[in-house]
Amino acid sequence: MFFNETLGAWDTAGCTKSEATTGDTLVCVCSHATTFTIGTLTLDINALVIPTVINAKSVGLVASTVAVAGLILLYIVFAVFAIYKDRESAKTAEAPSDAELAAFGERVLELWGRRAPNFVLSTMHLGAWKDAYGVDMYPKGTRLSFFQRMYVAGRAGFKYNHAYFLLFFQPMTPGTRLARISTTVASVFVTLVVSATFFQDTASSRMVTMSEIEQKVFAGMVSSIVVFVPFSLLGFLMRRVKHDHQVRDPQGDAFELLEKEGKGIHSELFEPRHWSDVLVPKWVEIVLYILLLVGALVSSIMAIFYGVQFEDTEAANWIESFFISWAASAIFLQSVQAIIGSVFTTVIGAISTLAAGLALLITNSAIN
């Protein structure tokens, strides 16, 4: 190295180790004639100016890209598992006998005091219905109290209507596990974008008076509610698509069985309702899948766009609010929807049973 008079310090520029260097001799070659020596140059790390490769906005880009890639990977895992379980259910599908259906109807009438829905007559998986009505949970001769009905209905609603738990249980309704988890994951993609809109211009929004934690919670909760409503409707339609491996003959077989008194199934055990009243054709599912795919793709592009625009603090707050929104939907909203839906059905059923009893009492009194 040499003494750089311009900088007033030792410098190594232009000086290299010669090929003539041996084990005992160090030969240096400099491209200029000046004061030089052999020594060690000590650098002050704090004085170095290191170029910043990752700037503030690229933090948001990385975060949004990782989030989108993670959701895609998560969907692939869920979809593979759902397809496996759906195929497994299709292999084990077997129409119950008239005697099994009649026994189920009698147990429901005994436990609940009302007839079973004759949707069951078209099912290929009677076990799910038996579990949902608590047929094997209570001994014969038991009449469920109001709170027992609430418990059984809430338990069934959580198992058979919660999007993530449903993956592990046989659906009671015709919709497949794949259709339901596809709807759920697509809603998560949209939630990612909706939560980003809250941080697009926080200075001019109502969140300007909130702390960072309040902003994250507010954006997360509102995003989950906004997305939850329309996707609940899509999920409802997905659960009403006709699938041959789950429905025996929705066009008339069930009603034929009801009409043939004395041949195994009696109409007093089943309500005059049928899947044909609520099922939608297969092409509706195809349209819904296309909508979900388009929604997920557009949301992915918009999420990355927001990631490029956000500064590092905004990006961090956005991603955290997204996880809050996801947790609120999975843990709270879906659970509440599943439980309240079943409990509401139970309450309506209890009211209907009471009304039918009063009507029968009034009719008998009038006859007498």
Percentages (nearest 5) of helix, strand, coil residues in the chain: 65, 5, 30
| Domain identity same for 13 and 61 | no
CA 105 to chain CA mean position, Å: 34
In a domain, 350, yes or no: yes
CB-side neighbour CA atoms (13 Å) of 105: 23
pLDDT at position 198 is 84
| Domain identity same for 81 and 150 | yes
DSSP strands (E only) in 99-185:
116-117
d(CA 64, CA 106): 55
Distances 204 to 58, 173, 195 between C-alpha atoms, Å: 24, 47, 16
* Structural contact between residues 338 and 233, judged by C-beta atoms closer than 8 angstroms: no
d(CA 345, CA 117): 12
Q: How many domains does the chain have?
A: 2
In a domain, 68, yes or no: yes
What would the two tokens of residue 297 be? Answer: 């793709």
Q: For the chain, first and last CA: distance in Å?
A: 122
In a domain, 297, yes or no: yes
d(CA 225, CA 214): 17
Which of 139, 149, 326 lies closest to 225, judged by CA?
A: 326
Which of 59, 311, 301 lies closest to 190, judged by CA?
A: 301
| Domain identity same for 17 and 72 | no
Cβ-based burial of 10 (10 A; exposed 0-12, middle 13-18, buried ≥19): middle
pLDDT at position 70 is 92
Length of the chain: 368
Which of 166, 198, 210 lies closest to 325, judged by CA?
A: 198
In a domain, 171, yes or no: yes
| Domain identity same for 298 and 234 | yes
DSSP strands (E only) in 76-220:
116-117
368 residues of the chain, pLDDT tens digit each: 666 776 666 777 777 777 767 766 667 777 766 665 655 544 444 443 433 434 445 677 888 889 999 999 999 999 999 999 888 887 777 777 777 888 888 898 889 888 887 777 767 778 888 888 889 889 888 888 888 888 888 788 777 777 787 788 877 766 788 888 898 899 999 999 998 888 876 544 566 677 878 888 888 888 888 888 888 888 878 877 766 544 444 434 555 555 554 444 666 777 765 555 556 777 888 898 999 999 999 999 998 888 888 877 888 888 888 888 888 888 887 777 766 666 655 565 556 556 655 665 666 666 65
| Domain identity same for 235 and 204 | yes
pLDDT at position 248 is 47
b/e for 179-188, b at 16 or more Cβ within 10 A? bbbbbbbbbb
Per-residue model confidence as pLDDT tens digits over 20-51:
677 666 677 777 666 656 555 444 444 434 33
In a domain, 259, yes or no: no
Distances 345 to 156, 159, 213 between C-alpha atoms, Å: 12, 16, 38
What would the two tokens of residue 290 be? Answer: 């296309």
In a domain, 133, yes or no: no
| Domain identity same for 26 and 83 | no
| Domain identity same for 197 and 323 | yes
Range of the domain at 290: 57-93+145-241+280-367
What would the two tokens of residue 229 be? Answer: 């409503």
Bridge partners (DSSP) of residue 10 are: 3
| Domain identity same for 41 and 63 | no
In a domain, 258, yes or no: no
The three-state DSSP-derived secondary structure of 278-345 is: CCECHHHHHHHHHHHHHHHHHHHHHHHHHHHHCCHHHHHHHHHHHHHHHHHHHHHHHHHHHHHHHHHH
pLDDT at position 206 is 63
pLDDT at position 41 is 47
In a domain, 125, yes or no: no
| Domain identity same for 43 and 85 | no
d(CA 358, CA 327): 45
| Domain identity same for 334 and 316 | yes
d(CA 79, CA 74): 8
| Domain identity same for 88 and 31 | no
| Domain identity same for 191 and 72 | yes
* pTM score, whole prediction: 0.67
- β-pairing, 270-271 vs 116-117, is parallel
